[in-house]
Amino acid sequence: MQTLTNRSKAVDRHPMTMWEKMYLPSIAKGMSITLSHFFKKKPTIQYPEETRPFSPVFRGLHILNRDEAGRERCTACGLCAVACPAEAITMEAAERKEGEENLYREEKYAAKYEINMLRCIFCGLCEEACPKDAIYLSETFAPSNYKREGFIYGKNDLLIPDPKTEPELYQKAVGERARKS
């Protein structure tokens, strides 16, 4: 029969020789292999303490961005929701009131902004669609949860910490990658 690859091997069915019948040499060989693995360096990454380095194009959990003054950038235009292929994003818009200029950058803002992380496929199209640089995909995973409701992330889960009041947390949320660029 013609073989497809040159890697195929015929099964060896010759009767065992005396040396092979004793089994002990092959057992010793197997034991030496396992013992050598005993002393090998383990490739395990101990997750919470150690993390794998992310690739530069990694797309993780979303964050809603603020500007330098700490105002929310999102204007609830809905382009991200339209762009989302998984239909994971919903939002409700509201008008900015007098005296809220330090909270929201434009006259319109998102009163409610929800992303269902169970639907989200982390494609990053929302990031590309956003005209205001308001939504970004960060370097973190979605943590596990006991309930489905826990995976629907609201505004207080998504918003980045205020750079004015909590500069350290802000830096952490921005992440290694953004700081470099």
Partner 1 sequence: MIQLAIDLAFILEKAILIGGIITVSLVVAMYSTWAERKVAGFMQDRLGPNRAGPFGLLQPLADGLKLFMKEEIIPNASNKFLFILGPGLAMMTAMMTSAVIPWGKQIEIFGRTVDLQIADINIGILYIFAVLSMGVYGIMIGGWASNNKFSLLAALRGASQMISYELAMGLAIIALLMLTGSLSLKTIVEQQSAAGGWWNIFYQPLGFLIFIVCAFAECNRTPFDLPEAENELNFGYHQEYSSMKLGFYLFAEYINMFMSSVLMATLYFGGYDIPFVNDASLIESMGMNTVAILQGLSLFAKAAFFIFFFMWVRWTIPRFRYDQLMHLGWKVMIPLALINMLITGVIVLIKENGWPF
By C-beta, is 39 or 131 nearer to partner 1?
A: 39
Q: Is 116 exposed, middle or buried (0-12, 13-18, 19+ CB in 10 A)?
A: middle
Q: Is residue 69 part of the contact set for partner 1 (CB under 8 A)?
A: no
- The reply to whether 34 sits near partner 1 by the rule CB under 8 A is yes
What pairs with residue 104 in β-bridges?
72
Q: Which is nearer to partner 1, 2 or 46 (CB)?
A: 46
> Per rule CB under 8 A, is residue 40 in the interface with partner 1?
yes
The nearest distance, CB 23 to partner 1, in angstroms, is: 9
Residue 43 or 99 with smaller CB distance to partner 1: 43
Place of tokens 């330090």: 102
- Measured distance CA(23)–CA(1) in Å, rounded: 34
Alpha-carbon distance of 26 to 92, in angstroms, equals 70
Instruction: List binders of partner 1 among 89-108 (CB under 8 A).
Output: none
Does residue 150 sit in helix, strand or coil? helix
Q: Which residues bind partner 1 (CB under 8 A)?
A: 27, 30-31, 33-35, 37-38, 40, 42-44, 46
